[in-house]
Chain A
Amino acid sequence: MPSRGGLIGRRARGLAGLAATLAATFLGLLFVTFVIGRVIPIDPVLAIVGERATAEQYAAARHALGLDRSLLVQFGLYLRDVLSGDLGTSTLTAHPVLEDIGRVFPATLELATIATLVGVLLGVPMGVSAAVRQGRLADQAIRLVGLFGYSMPVFWLGLMGLLLFYGDLGWVGGPGRLDTSFQFVFDLDVPRITGAILIDTALAGAWDVFRNALTHIVLPAGVLGYYSLAYVSRMTRSFMLEQLHQEYVTTARVKGMPEWRVVWVHALGNVLVPLITVIALSYAQLLEGSVLTETVFAWPGLGLYITNALFSGDLSAVMGGTIVVGAAFILLNLLSDLLYRLVDPRAR
């Protein structure tokens, strides 16, 4: 048993190592996006000056972009720009890319967060119940629900959902984040604080806009949440089955602990260790911009932004979006690493 001081020193070293790893990963990410930017068959100069530019105009634009210098210098300049927060200007929207992303990313973040909450709050209890009733009807039913979520393409589920709940039943709002009428109210009266529509409208007390936004987000969040639930419940079930066969579970029973405590405190405490990574990865995947879902639901998020940028040769926007997605991955990894230390004393 190490002494307290030694433990703190070890922990500090561990965190310093983690920070170094993160910095290196981020640098690698920037390098990869830079290389991608140079190798994809899009000519950024052409995208700006157009096809009818003269050779002089072309050369001048090329020089202005710094593309006539050596790759190493270009990478250095790119690093300097990115680190100072300059991701370039989008040729499509004519806004700085960072500003664009600041506008679209919260929409994706809001969607992914609600979907992950749905996936975890329903998926974990479902997975645990299935494991406890292994092989019985409840287990089969839960596994079937999961399997369905696994195998249905997200765009099909989204379209069918729109058809049924919006088209036929009219229970939910249609594509987009708001009805057009509410969009005006939102644009004029609601200050953008977080960019998340539900939070901003609630903060402003604009409850009618809030309710309308809610009817719009329910379906895409539900579809993505179902997808996340399928994955989380399945992994929870298998982790739980593994833990229920461990000897410490028998120990808890020998101590006369009620079965709910054996499962939900003793076993689940150990299930959380691998589950945190699973949840973080699933969250990161949703953040990456569920391109298909955002397209089906006309959701103005990061996925839709990157896709549009890609189709119109807007290189700065593509690279900026990629960096944000990559940075989100890195941050979530860091978060899951920290949580991991919190729930597993052996990792400290």
Chain B
Amino acid sequence: MKPLLEVEDLKVAFDTPGGRVEAVRGVSFTLGRERLGIVGESGSGKTMTGRAILRLVQPPGRVTAKRLAFDGRDLLSLPERGMRALRGRRLAMVMQDPKYSLNPVMTVGRQLTEGLRRRDRLSAGAARRRAVAMLEAVQIRDPERVMGAYPHELSGGMGQRVMIAMMLIPEPDLLIADEPTSALDVTVEAEVLRILDGLVRERGLGLIFISHDLPLVARFCDRVLVMYAGRVVESLAASELEQARHPYTRGLLRCLPAVGGPRGPLPTLRRDPGWAE
């Protein structure tokens, strides 16, 4: 079967007045209709990897790759118009914090139906029905009222469910979730993840789940990429996380507290400059 996404030697660099900053330095992986986790600390390049796939890196950022293909189509040579069509229909991304990722001066309804109305030329009524159905699918109890609400009138968990609904409305093939729960409370996080998990399974999407939370990714995904300083340092099945070999991954795992474990100070990650090479 043809893979959904092929990434080979992906690089993202920024030319700044202070010199060239390389955020992603040669990332390669392929993705089928599976759930891939990308973990790493802040600045490891995981978010930039996600945005480069959607070609959303803004100048002065520059994206290069030996191969970056979605469903067999080369994304880097695709004209902007073709890329827009892919973004609206087949590729989607849920971002970190609904407080910032939803437009504050537009009603939820307008934001949800925008794609259906503008691109798919659906009538107002039909678009609205689709949006309400999608809000129900993300388990919002009062979808009619939420449609008329503004983002600041929603709680974080509701906002993120609206975001997920908005991204799943066009029924994409690949969803990138960039730290979708790190702005939420732990209890709300579990609920949003459960909804996301259900929809991804039910619809058979490919998912790239970006997070800094290693155990969460291990529970949620089939496969895990561990990134460090713009590179993938380890790639392994989520179930084999315990057998991770790279000292960075092992170090991360050791830093996690365990319920009922020893109460002494947690070990500090000792970094080896060699990891970044």
Name A residues whose Cβ lies closer than 8 Å to a Cβ of B: 1-2, 246-248, 250-259, 261, 266, 269-270, 272-273, 343-346
Question: Separation in Å of the A292 CB from the closest CB of chain B?
Answer: 38
User: How many A-B contacts are there with CB distance less than 8 Å?
Assistant: 83
B-side interface residues, number (CB < 8 Å): 39
Q: Does residue B150 face the partner (Cβ distance < 8 Å to A)? A: yes
Chain B residue at minimal CB-CB distance from A345? B150
Q: Does residue B104 face the partner (Cβ distance < 8 Å to A)? A: yes
Name B residues whose Cβ lies closer than 8 Å to a Cβ of A: 51, 54, 56, 80, 84-89, 91-93, 95-97, 100-107, 114-115, 118-119, 145-146, 149-150, 152-154, 163, 166-167, 170
Instruction: Chain B residues near A254: list those with CB within 8 A.
Output: 54, 56, 87, 91-93, 167
Q: Give the residue of A248, A258, A346 whose beta carbon is less than 8 angstroms from that of B84.
A: A258
Question: Separation in Å of the A201 CB from the closest CB of chain B?
Answer: 41
Instruction: Chain A residues near B89: list those with CB within 8 A.
Output: 256
Contact (A251, B102) CB under 8 Å given A1-B145, A346-B150, A346-B152: yes
Chain A interface, >50% SS class = helix
Distance, CA A259 to CA B54, complexed state (A): 15
Q: Give the residue of B114, B145, B146, B153 whose beta carbon is less than 8 angstroms from that of A255.
A: B114
Cβ-defined contact, A261 with B118, below 8 A: yes
Cβ-defined contact, A269 with B88, below 8 A: no
Question: Separation in Å of the A263 CB from the closest CB of chain B?
Answer: 13
Cβ-defined contact, A246 with B88, below 8 A: no
Instruction: Chain A residues near B154: list those with CB within 8 A.
Output: 1
Question: Separation in Å of the B187 CB from the closest CB of chain A?
Answer: 20
Q: Give the residue of A251, A255, A257, A269 whose beta carbon is less than 8 angstroms from that of B105.
A: A269
Instruction: Chain A residues near B84: list those with CB within 8 A.
Output: 256-258
Instruction: Chain B residues near A272: list those with CB within 8 A.
Output: 105
Q: Give the residue of B93, B101, B104 whose beta carbon is less than 8 angstroms from that of A270.
A: B104
Instruction: Chain B residues near A257: list those with CB within 8 A.
Output: 84, 88, 114-115, 118
Instruction: Chain B residues near A270: list those with CB within 8 A.
Output: 103-105
Distance, CA A257 to CA B91, complexed state (A): 13
Additional A-B contacts beyond A1-B146, A250-B51, A254-B91 (12; CB < 8 A)? A247-B95, A247-B100, A254-B93, A255-B87, A255-B166, A255-B167, A256-B86, A257-B118, A258-B84, A259-B80, A345-B104, A345-B152
Contact (A248, B87) CB under 8 Å given A1-B145, A1-B149, A345-B150: no
